[in-house]
Amino acid sequence: MPETPAVPAAVPVAVCQFAPTASRAANRDRIAELTAEAAARGARLVVFPEYSSYFVDPMDATLAENAEPLNGEFVSTLTALASDYAVVIVAGLAEQASDAAHVRNTVVAVRGDGILATYRKQHLYDAFGQTESDWVEAGEIGGAATFELAGIRFGLMTCYDLRFPEVSRTLMDAGADALVVPAEWVRGPLKEHHWTTLLAARAIENTAYVIAADHPTPIGVGHSQIVDPQGVVLAGVGTNEGIAVATVERSTIDRVRAVNPSLRGRRYAVGPR
């Protein structure tokens, strides 16, 4: 009998743009609703924003008071939802830090059987009049958090990390095909332009998909997007809450990298400083 042709690797992904609040229970409930909708639309990877477990603006001491361990209620809820809907979920949370006054700005990727990858934000948002480091402990540098789904490798980074191309390069060196970027990209002059430009730039320079989930207005800029390896927006959300779905395809990654072998042509490596 002739062999059955291999099915090309493809992963339908969803970005879920929503506004986390100071109610941890309400945030979990909203994530459950959005996960159900994304799964019903065919998504196998569902991405939520930074600080999905708990968020206040401006940040204050309640952030640390509401931080959770990785085996806490938030991650347990994500894992249960991932099991119920047969998806992988990526979301940001305020994780307990090494001291009681700070949190770790953490992103987890979970499947129904547990955590696949964990990333702690390396570049804190001490810019544009903000001082995230007052409340957040920076993650250790030098590592790359990735996970595989259907033959495609996804790498994790967070919000302000987007302004530092070295982060995405370390993920490429770890074999990533797509960058997953939970964010709370704060509004301000030209901030929407910076957000969309940097998403496209990270996609183009790495010949990789970029899957980015932001908070909606009025605090975030919105515009959560799925961008292909040539910088083309495949699907996106406007400024309100919503879901966008598109498919990440192995064949597209391979084709773009064959035509534009910029990763192979690099003459510099990235190292921590």
At 249-259, the pLDDT tens digits run: 999 999 999 99
* Chosen CATH of 10-259 out of 3.90.79.10, 3.40.50.720, 3.30.420.40, 3.60.110.10: 3.60.110.10
Give CA angle at 49 (210, 92), nearest 5°: 105
Q: At 271, is the pLDDT very low, low, confident or very high (cuts 50, 70, 90)?
A: confident
Kindly report the number of other CB atoms within 10 A of residue 197's CB atom: 13
At 62-85, the pLDDT tens digits run: 999 999 999 999 999 999 999 999
Confidence (pLDDT) at 8: 65
Q: At 2, is the pLDDT very low, low, confident or very high (cuts 50, 70, 90)?
A: low
Please indicate whether residue 16 is annotated as part of the active site. Answer: no
Query: Residue 73: CB partners within 8 Å, gap ≥ 6?
Result: 24, 28
At 39-64, the pLDDT tens digits run: 999 999 999 999 999 999 999 999 99
**Can you give the pTM of this predicted structure?**
0.96
Confidence (pLDDT) at 75: 98
Which one of 16, 95, 121, 137 is the catalytic residue?
121
Please indicate whether residue 121 is annotated as part of the active site. Answer: yes
Please indicate whether residue 191 is annotated as part of the active site. Answer: no
Which one of 132, 159, 184, 249 is the catalytic residue?
159
Is 90 exceeded by the pLDDT of residue 113? yes
Confidence (pLDDT) at 272: 85
At 126-166, the pLDDT tens digits run: 999 999 999 999 999 988 999 999 999 999 999 999 999 99
At 140-150, the pLDDT tens digits run: 998 899 999 99
Is 70 exceeded by the pLDDT of residue 1? no
Confidence (pLDDT) at 240: 98
Confidence (pLDDT) at 142: 82
Which one of 16, 50, 95, 132 is the catalytic residue?
50
Q: Please, is 130 exposed, middle or buried when counting C-beta atoms within 10 Å of its C-beta (0-12, 13-18, 19+)?
A: middle
Average pLDDT over residues 15-24: 98
Average pLDDT over residues 2-17: 79
